[in-house]
Structure 1
Amino acid sequence: MTVLSLIACLSLLAWLWLTFGQGGFWRTDLRLPPRGAAADGPRPSVAIVVPARDEAEVLPESLPSLLAQRYAGEARVILVDDGSTDGTGELARRLGAQSGAALPLTVTSPGEPPAGWTGKLWALRHGVELAGDVEYLLLTDADIAHAPDSLTELVAAAEAEGGYDLVSQMARLSVRTRWEQLIVPAFVYFFAQLYPFRWSNKPGARTAAAAGGCTLVRREALARVGGVAAIRGAVIDDVNLARLVKGGGGRTWLGLADRVDSVRPYPELAQLWRMVSRSAYAQLRHNVFLLLGTVLGLALVYLVPPVLLLTGLILAEPRVAAPAFAAWALMAATYRPMLAYYGRPAREALLLPFTAGLYLLMTVDSAVQHWRGRGAAWKGRTYPAPDQQQNELPVP
């Protein structure tokens, strides 16, 4: 076999493994677990904690959806203003004072985070403490809008047979602009490839993940593993929270949402680029060898098939073109369900190699920014790599 045909076959073997051996990561049929028998009984108490930093642009679309939750139990919303400079706190109070709110709203501010804390987790800790002795905490981002029965369905799922200590839904992100349509479905697809939902949901499995935009957690389970303080420096807080709860003996569940949506627009590539690159190198534990492996892996899995298919056709070499074509076909077939979930046409699956190339560059850029001392930057704050901090849990 020639070198090119060998590389094409390696890419095909990688796709055979991903398709049939990576926990069915490409499937999009995981929704909230069915309601348990107790779903129609008395509802447990819940506090909805919303960390918010400079969110005045999206708050009018998201916060009213939380205040309008139809829930047959004690519930309230706690918005934690994390040092906003755009009037987020004042706007939240005005929205909470409007007629029609079903749940009460508390707006508070914890001040600047101390050393070793990210701003979001410092805000979450403050909100969790203010929530008091509730049974559940719904941790949701300020850009997430919920259907009126979202809280009811989340709690019912957590109370289903066997019970869950953490139930998380990956909110449906905006795909209105062309760049969003190109980048966003792939973002969720790559996340599921890294953390197959079925593996994450399996008790005893090492994989654990959650989506930070919508996570319901039992207060007792969170307290048992040390609370928010146990992950206080984690940039990728959702995955670390799930690993913490699952590692402490809790049951976790993660799936795709149908009626929980992000209202934050990303109309330009630069905004999407920052969203990905700010945490990509942290995901690799700031390890240069993992970075090199990731770059080579992305190239082999996503870039090799189209390049070698074209090369094989030009050289009239079927031993190169055939495995490359098969690899690209598997790539497109596994991507199709995610495109359908986002309402995108099947033909866009052919663009996944180009999108993967962008993600490769974003990952490299994330490392470059870290080497320049900028770390994970977000909304005016920069977080350097943890120096072997105990609270930064390893990724699977």
Structure 2
Amino acid sequence: MTVIAGLSLLVWVWLLLGQGFFWRTDVRLPRVSGEPARWPSVAVVVPARDEAEVLGSSLPSLLAQRYPGRAAVFLVDDGSTDGTGDVARELAARHGGLPLTVTSPGEPPAGWTGKLWAVRHGIALARERTGAQYLLLTDADIAHHPDSLRSLVAAAAGANLDMVSQMARLRVETGWERLIVPAFVYFFGQLYPFRWINRPASRTAAAAGGCVLIRASAVDAARVPDSIRQSVIDDVALARAVKRSGGRIHLGLAEQVDSVRPYPHLGELWRMVARSAYAQLRHSPALLAGTVLGLALIYLVPPVAAVAGAAAGGWAVCGLGAAAWLVMTLTYLPMLRYYGQRWWLALTLPYTAALYLLMTVDSAVQHYRGRGAAWKGRTYTRPDPDVTG
């Protein structure tokens, strides 16, 4: 147990110093001097499937964008059964602002996920009608500050970036949201350190699908979304495709972009994580086993060693476990501050990690039961490697 506790501490020291300072929350939009002399045209593409409940809190914020150039919004109703398209039209008539087009692509053909089929349809229509130089891909549950689009375009143009993505600030109002949501972003940053993503020479690539501004030329160069049409984790696949094609990308935490989707109960949060966790592991039993062991070593061993060591009088084990738990806690504090949460929630990170471990195992179980990555009435099986780019 002393060796295991010591190994856990060594891993935490390495994570603290050698994993791109993933725990810091100061990576935001690039700071640029000035604004474009001529603002490029932008088309906002919003894929939406059964989103009538949240559109009232999100779509008006897009229509109200204070953007100096030409901009238009294209909402792609992906086979909704709750009147999403009608709600969008009513909101546009009531609020005015940027012009809104509501369109529908029909059911996705074989080999496509529903969202990417909707995005493809929206991009094609937007470019045909507007000739937009930039495309903002944003989800139907994302609300934008009135200057969000202006800031995104200024950052992309000023820093010569082909794609700028922001991790929307998720809702944290219920007890389960406070426990799960900050940890979700913390784990994402640990897996994909933002500083590594933002280095052109680094192979690490990821994006946050809720808010992605991309040059139209980068869409063509990366052949997206066609080249990633089977990807369940489409935002990471998009970033990889753009970076592979030579594009410069940036990912940061948002200040002007918020998710309005509520996750009041554990069940909703569980499904959010489990639907794509095993896909993230490329449906590999070996990677699943390694992930379970890794999560246990990193997050569960420290508190167990600290408590069990103290109870048994094994002070070396207790000290090593407590030290690892302390490092873990300190690295979580910046994310809790970003979300405006109390510091003591950092002590619950091992418990939250145990929940994520179970969610990941459940994701694999659902896959082998034939349910795959299920979302809003659709189930996606393992992608064909010969089809996915």
Alpha-carbon distance in structure 2 between the residues aligned to 1:227 and 1:326:
46
User: 1:224 deviation in Å?
Assistant: 1.0
Q: How far off is 1:36 after superposition?
A: 3.9
Number of the residue aligned with 1:385? 382
> Would the aligned equivalents of 2:111 and 2:387 in 1 still touch at CA under 8 Å?
no
Q: 1:197, CA displacement in angstroms?
A: 0.2
Which residue number corresponds to residue 103 of structure 2? 108
Structure 2 residue 50 is matched with structure 1 residue 50: no
Gaps of 5+ in 2: none
Does the 8 A contact of 1:78 with 1:108 survive in 2?
A: yes
C-alpha displacement at 1:389, in angstroms? 3.8
- Per the alignment, residue 223 of structure 1 pairs with 220
1:314 aligns with 2:311: yes
For 2:222 and 2:175, locate their aligned partners in 1 and report how far apart those are by CA, in whole Å. Answer: 42
Q: Do the aligned partners of 2:163 and 2:214 also contact (CA within 8 Å) in 1?
A: yes
| Residues 253-292 of structure 1 aligned to structure 2 (within 5 Å) | 253-292=250-289
Q: CA deviation at 1:390?
A: 4.0
CA distance in 2, matches of 1:42, 1:103: 19
Choose from 308, 312, 326 the match for 2:323.
Answer: 326
2:157 to 159, 173, 186: 159
Q: Displacement, 1:102?
A: 2.2
Counterpart CA distance in 1 for 2:351 and 2:22 is 20
Q: How many positions carry a matched residue from both structures?
A: 386
Shift of 1:228: 0.8
1:348 matched residue in structure 2: 345
Cα deviation, residue 283, structure 1: 0.1
Per the TM alignment, residue 213 of structure 1 is displaced from its structure 2 partner at its CA by 0.2
TM-score of the two chains, using structure 2 as the length reference: 0.98
Alpha-carbon RMSD: 0.8
C-alpha distance in 2, partners of 1:167/1:82? 25
Alignment match of 2:91 (pick from 95, 100, 105): 95
The residue aligned with 1:238 is 235
Matched, 1:179 2:176: yes
Q: Which secondary structure state, in structure 1, belongs to the residue aligned with residue 52 of structure 2?
A: coil
Displacement over 4 Å in runs of 4+:
none
The partner residue of 2:68 within 54, 68, 72 is 72
Q: Distance in 2 between matches of 1:128 and 1:21?
A: 39
SS of the equivalent of 1:80 reads: strand
| Map 1:363-374 → 2, pairs under 5 A | 363-374=360-371
Alignment of structure 1 residues 111-126 onto 2, 5 Å: 111-126=106-121
TM-superposed deviation, 1:217: 0.4
Letter in 1 for 2:156: A
Contact kept, 8 Å, 1:70 with 1:102, in 2: the verdict is no
Deviation at 1:40, TM superposition (A): 4.7
Tell whether the 8 Å contact from 2:42 to 2:72 is kept in structure 1 after alignment. Answer: yes
Structure 1 residue 227 displacement after superposition:
2.2
Q: 2: distance between equivalents of 1:352 and 1:169?
A: 24
The 2-side partners of 1:201 and 1:225 are apart by 18
In 1: Cα distance, 2:62 partner to 2:106 partner: 24
Asked whether the 8 Å contact 1:36–1:156 carries over to 2, the reply is: no
- How does the TM-score come out when normalised to structure 1? 0.96
Mapped to 2, the partners of 1:388 and 1:73 lie a distance apart of: 41
> CA-to-partner distance for each residue in 1:107-128, whole Å, 9 max, x for gaps?
0000000000000000000000
